[in-house]
């Protein structure tokens, strides 16, 4: 049992290290978000801001899918008949890499502060101080009139929560239809290393 806990903990910490420490080597290698991506970010974040009465959001300046979707892809998520397989597959394909987010590319009714990777590392190392929001890259259907987005909140080294959002395009505007699936990843700190007892000395043979 102890061995199993250690394996699960190592998987989670490896995923966390990959997710939150990944930084493109140079600015030229960083992928960029499209105008459609920004319209979807704004629709989802504005919907969340209204529902939760937010006056300030701290957002990571790179897209991310969180720990849960790194361990289990969107293609396997039970999202119901409103979501086609092509949307889920496109989500997984687009989120194989991260993309840079620029605050001036979309508007929100609340204060929006972007947090760089280096600032995030310092914040996490210092024990936090506020919740950190992150968003994935959207996945689209073939007609580009429906999209899936993951919106998450990082609370600290061991905890994050998120929601899969389904959006629909009405004319030129994106609107939130449903919140389809929520998750809460809360990994316990690693258990103590199992003790290995030294073998008992053997009696000399006579």
Range of the domain at 158: 2-23+31-186
| Whole-number percent of the chain with pLDDT over 70 | 70
For the chain, the average pLDDT equals 79
Distance between CA 45 and CA 136 in Å, rounded?
12
Contact (Cβ atoms closer than 8 angstroms) between residue 140 and residue 90: yes
* Residue 171 is assigned to a structural domain of this protein: yes
* Residue 204 is assigned to a structural domain of this protein: no
63 membership: H or E segment, kind and range: none
* Residue 193 is assigned to a structural domain of this protein: no
> How confident is the model over 33-68, as pLDDT tens digits?
999 999 999 999 999 998 888 899 999 999 998 877
* Residue 92 is assigned to a structural domain of this protein: yes
Average pLDDT over residues 72-94: 93
* Residue 192 is assigned to a structural domain of this protein: no
* CATH code for the domain of 108: 3.10.450.630
In the three-class reduction of DSSP (H, G, I as helix; E, B as strand; rest coil), residue 82 is classed as coil
User: What is the number of domains present in the chain?
Assistant: 1
User: Cα torsion for 138, 143, 146, 149, to the nearest 10°?
Assistant: -10
* Residue 198 is assigned to a structural domain of this protein: no
* Residue 144 is assigned to a structural domain of this protein: yes
> How confident is the model over 15-26, as pLDDT tens digits?
444 444 444 433
Contact (Cβ atoms closer than 8 angstroms) between residue 189 and residue 198: no
- Contacts for 58 with CB less than 8 Å, ≥ 6 apart: 113, 115, 130, 131, 132, 133
* Residue 123 is assigned to a structural domain of this protein: yes
> How confident is the model over 136-176, as pLDDT tens digits?
999 999 999 999 999 999 887 668 889 999 999 999 999 99
């Amino acid at each position: 049992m102890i061995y199993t806990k250690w394996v699960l903990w190592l998987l989670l910490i490896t995923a966390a290290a990959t997710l939150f420490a990944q930084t493109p080597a140079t600015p030229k290698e960083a992928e960029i978000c499209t105008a459609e991506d920004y319209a979807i970010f704004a629709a989802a974040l504005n919907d969340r801001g209204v529902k939760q009465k937010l006056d300030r959001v701290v957002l990571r300046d790179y897209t991310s899918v969180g720990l849960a979707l790194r361990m289990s892809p969107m293609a396997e998520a039970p999202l119901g008949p409103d979501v086609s397989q092509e949307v889920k597959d496109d989500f997984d394909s687009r989120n194989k890499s991260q993309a840079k987010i620029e605050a001036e590319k979309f508007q929100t009714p609340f204060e929006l502060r972007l947090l760089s990777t280096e600032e995030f590392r310092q914040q996490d190392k210092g024990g936090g101080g506020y919740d950190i929001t992150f968003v994935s890259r959207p996945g689209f259907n073939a007609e580009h009139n429906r999209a899936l987005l993951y919106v998450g909140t990082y609370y600290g080294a061991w905890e994050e929560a998120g929601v899969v959002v389904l959006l629909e395009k009405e004319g030129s505007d994106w609107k939130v239809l449903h919140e389809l699936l929520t998750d809460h990843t809360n990994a316990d700190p690693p258990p103590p290393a199992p003790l290995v007892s030294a073998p008992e000395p053997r009696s000399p043979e006579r």
